[in-house]
Chains A and B, each alone.
Chain A
Amino acid sequence: MNEIVKVSGLRVAARNEAGVDVPIVHGADFSLNKGEVLALIGESGSGKTTIALALMGYARAGCRIVGGSVRIGDVEVLEQPDSELAKLRGRTVAYIAQSAAAAFNPAKTIMQQVIESALIHGVMSRRAAQAKAVELFRALALPDPEHIGARYPHQVSGGQLQRLMAAMALITEPALVILDEPTTALDVTTQIEVLRAFKKVVRDLDTTAVYVSHDLAVVAQMADRIVVLRNGEIQENSRTEQILEEPAHPYTRSLLAAMKPAARQDATGQKGGRVEEDLLLDVRGLEICYGSKRVVQDIDLQVRRGATVGIIGESGSGKTTVARAIAGLVAPSAGQVLLDGQRLSGTLAGRTREQFRRVQYVFQNADTALNPQHSIEEILARPLRFYHGMRSAQRRRRVAELLELVQLPASLAKRRPSELSGGQKQRINLARALAAEPDLILCDEVTSALDTVVGAAILELMADLRRELNVSYLFISHDISTVRAICDEVVVMYSGAKVEQGNRSTFQAPPYHPYTHLLIDSVPEMYQGWLEETRAGRGALPQIVASTTSAQLCPFLARCPVRIDGKCNKVSPPRVRLDKGNEILCHHSDSELRHFDELVPAMAVSG
């Protein structure tokens, strides 16, 4: 018998504010064979992490395992006393946390933490553990495996930390590894590297693993079996190919549908022919510095009335900074922002109330953007009084209208934000911006914190509102499929620079800027074997000599798979217009980029 894990009737309860136990996992049953990878998939609150932690006999503060059985090998985990559980954790079952940046102790070196479980459990000597760690660093394709262990967590990148955490889990050769959303916090181009490294070690070491995720496309690359969870109950438990091809449960089908956002044709098309008079926002040569560090450079951007322009880029690309500059929250060091041809001041103090009203900002996290002490009515009434000077009866009527506009019942007006769901809060956040009756709404990652289904509904609502109210959106996101679904025009940013701009339909097929290419190729697709097929981020980069010039070089130089020695590291790249109309910042020509894959030098298969 090679069944390693058997979970039956597992029940977990959480204590609510009234001190009453509320079940959050209602009797989960599944099992796992040696060498198998099982995925737990579901939206937030589905209990997937709770179940994964229960495999180690662990429940987070406020939660309690109330019943059922978890057998790992011959051990009944839930009956073990604390001292025996400590022997199991990190030895028989190891855990890889979602945010490696938070899960690493900032005060200790990486090596100390990677080998800690081996030392706690007395598996091997310190010297042997260090040698083994270096071996794992190498297997996980980490740079400078000999010395990376001597660094502190803040000195390596997020993607590297996530792989280092895998090394930390694998050092004791545990019978079971739990991966809890290990790539969710990463950019897609980093995610693909981490996934490849994980897949390789899982295969090479014949690891048995439980992979927790909300992303079916990612799970399709990693898992043999998938358990679909909803509200703490298992909906479906099947082999991966069956879930993807013939999902049995309706919930699985709805999950699959929500993960393939269909481009809304009605959102564009008829707006395509708008002319220059409709220009609402015009950003020219925007440059922003934090101290002496230039974080955004040379950004030109136009938004027409009633149009949606998307800015896409990874964390640190400067996309949010651009939006903050347009809103007046950071002062640009050069360039200007024009609204209807009228120049907006770089600072809030220099803007009129009318200018405030016309540009509204919707923040990523509705939890922190809405004052928890105010009722929904107060939150929405404030801009009504501030911008429109409405009296109380009039305000109350308008609040009801606004709630209707964002498709929420008027009865919510008396509630506080904490009593609302994530999706409802984001709708209120949007309604608060709409209360000002703005011309332009800056939407900063408005769906990133939401589940796929809820996020898709918010995008739907935004498209409806645009049609009804003729507002414009500047839509900031790290997710290319969201941007492609809702935006008329897409701006791609990398490291503070605009590397590509074009109509959204041009982002379906090459030629692209090399970074856009990497970005699009890195988005996991919903079929097994995609990870092995995709060429994104594979192989070695072309050799170039270190640049000595003071010229403003291509921002993507360090990661570009098609960089040219003697050109890219010597002269600044020109802005080139591709045949399809896109403007890119690159030395390559249209025809070269059209055959991008041939341009990439012989790719050593590393995965």
Chain B
Amino acid sequence: MNNIVARLIIGRLGIGVLTLLIVSLVVFILTGLLPGDAAQEQLGQEATPEAVAALRAQLGLDQPVYLRYLSWLGGLVTGNPGVSLVNGMAVDDLIASRLPNSLKLAAATALIAVPLALTIGIVSAMYRGSIFDRYTNMLAVFLVSVPEFLIATIAVLIFAVKLGWLSALSRSVEVDSFLELLSVYAMPVLTLCCVLVAQMARMTRAAVIDQLSAPYVEMAVLKGARPVRVVLRHALPNAIGPIANAVALSLSYLLGGVVIVESIFNYPGIATLMVNAVVTRDMPLVQACVMLFSLGFLVLVLVADIIAIVSNPRLRT
């Protein structure tokens, strides 16, 4: 019944919205708990209490907490997340100027990492125990355990300092030629891919191997199916659910990974914006960025869930 699928998906969406609501509450409370006061911060230590109080009133900081929360939430929903406390610019404009850059970086990484990881995972599952499998496995463990700031630093050391092929900083994001594109994206993407591919490939391998021990796989072998057919036609369709979840989990890691990578390469994305906002205690901006990250995470998980539901004939039919 397709309405079962519809009901499942609507249920997931409902839970997603509820989760976002809870996250918003937590974010609001936590940012409120941070020491320091935006008005005080802006005016400096020398400011008179009257001046601070006047600015507080102007910023709406003197209102009760729940009112501030509601007006903030209302603003978020209507696309008006407030005004930066630091430079007075609208938060949505600030985000709009940076978000495309981050999305480009994430998209480039995903475009390279996902197909690569799936291929490696599936091939090493097919030839389990082979030399290829063992070496990729070792490499994967190595890459997962090295923190990305180290990978980034080493990459800079080799490609920018020693070889001088690439610029250490991704200052310009306006690209005109393929070479420029490479020089801007190569190192951040490489760094993000390292951890991502390793993680996804391992999880894909596990999901496929799990299916390969199922009795229907033995049956396919006894029908005369060759290994490639057994894996692609029989095991893979049943592994789509777990693989989709593994990919979503890895990609959601991108959201955290960009914070470090963007900072190291000084890439003008949303993560550097958020880091700077934390430094300057620009709470409306921090809150909006955190909410954006949560939204991205939830969307990824939701998409994986929906793929898993749709790929399962027990739920679909």
- Given the known A-B contacts A102-B216, A103-B216, are A120 and B224 also in contact in the complex, defined by CB atoms under 8 Å? yes
- List the one stretch of B54-62, B73-81, B242-250, B309-317 in contact with chain A: B309-317
Select from chain B the residue with minimum beta-carbon distance to A151. B317
A95 touches B224 (CB 8 A): no
Tell whether, in the assembled complex, residue A95 and residue B219 are in contact, meaning their CB atoms are under 8 Å apart: yes
Q: How far is the CA of A437 from the CA of B232 in the complex (A)?
A: 56
Chain A residue at minimum C-beta to C-beta distance from B214: A102
CB distance from A33 to the nearest CB of B (A): 23
Asked whether A105 lies within 8 Å of B224 as measured between CB atoms, the reply is no
Complexed CA–CA distance, A56 and B311 (Å):
33
Interchain CB contact under 8 A, A152 and B317: yes
A238 at the interface (CB under 8 A from B): no
Report the bound CA distance from A102 to B218 in whole Å.
10
Let me know if B226 is at the binding interface, CB within 8 A. yes
A389 to B223: give the CA distance in the assembly, Å: 59
Q: Does A89 contact B221, Cβ atoms closer than 8 Å?
A: yes
Residue from A105, A106, A108, A116 having most chain B Cβ neighbours under 10 A: A105
Contact (Cβ within 8 A) A155 B219:
no
Q: Whole-angstrom distance between the alpha carbons of A99 and B312 in the complex?
A: 21
- Please tell me which one of the listed residues A88, A106, A108, A154 contacts residue B224 in the complex, with CB atoms under 8 A apart: A88
Partner of A116, one of B215, B218, B225: B225
Contacts of B233 in A (CB 8 A): 108
- Assuming the A-B contacts A105-B234, A152-B317, A154-B314, are A86 and B225 also in contact, with contact meaning beta carbons closer than 8 angstroms in the complex? yes
- A106-B215 in contact (CB<8A): no
Say yes or no: A106 contacts B223, CB within 8 Å.
Answer: no
Residue contact A95 to B222, C-beta cutoff 8 Å: yes
B interface footprint on A83-100 (CB within 8 Å = 1, 0 otherwise)? 100111111001101010
Asked if A356 is at the interface of the complex by the 8 Å CB criterion, the answer is no
**Residues 168 to 226 of chain B near chain A (Cβ within 8 Å):** 213-216, 218-226
Q: Does B229 contact A (CB under 8 A)?
A: yes
B24 at interface (Cβ–Cβ under 8 A)? no
Pairwise interchain contact A105-B222, C-beta atoms closer than 8 A: no
Interface residues of B in 33-55 (CB under 8 A from A): none
Q: CA A83 – CA B229 in complex, angstroms?
A: 13
Contacts of B223 in A (CB 8 A): 89-90, 94-95, 116-117, 120, 168
* A108 and B225 contact, CB distance less than 8 A: no
B237 within 8 A of A: yes
A91 touches B215 (CB 8 A): no
* A107, B313: Cβ atoms closer than 8 Å: yes
B247 vs chain A, min Cβ distance (A): 18
Give every chain B residue within 8 A of A105 (Cβ-Cβ): 216, 219-220, 234, 237-238
A104 within 8 A of B: yes
Q: A97-B215, A97-B219 are in contact. Are A106 and B225 (CB under 8 A)?
A: no
Chain A, Cβ-Cβ closest to B241? A107
Which residue of A95, A97, A116, A168 has the most chain B CB atoms within 10 A of its CB atom? A116
Among residues 162 to 193 in chain A, which have CB atoms less than 8 Å away from a CB atom of chain B? Answer: 168
Map CB proximity to B onto A60-92 as digits: 1 under 8 Å, 0 otherwise: 110000000000000000000001001111110
Closest Cβ of chain B: how far from A513's Cβ, in Å? 35
Given A105-B234, A106-B313, A152-B314: A99 touches B215 (CB 8 Å cut-off) = yes
Query: Contact check: which of B213, B219, B312 meets A103 at CB < 8 Å?
Result: B219
- Say yes or no for A58: interface residue by CB 8 A criterion: yes
Residue A121 interfacial (CB < 8 Å): yes
A–B pairs, 17, beta carbons within 8 Å: A53-B222, A87-B224, A90-B222, A94-B222, A103-B215, A103-B219, A104-B216, A105-B219, A105-B234, A105-B237, A106-B216, A107-B237, A107-B312, A107-B313, A108-B237, A116-B225, A155-B317
Closest 4 CB pairs of A and B: A90-B224, A90-B223, A107-B237, A102-B215
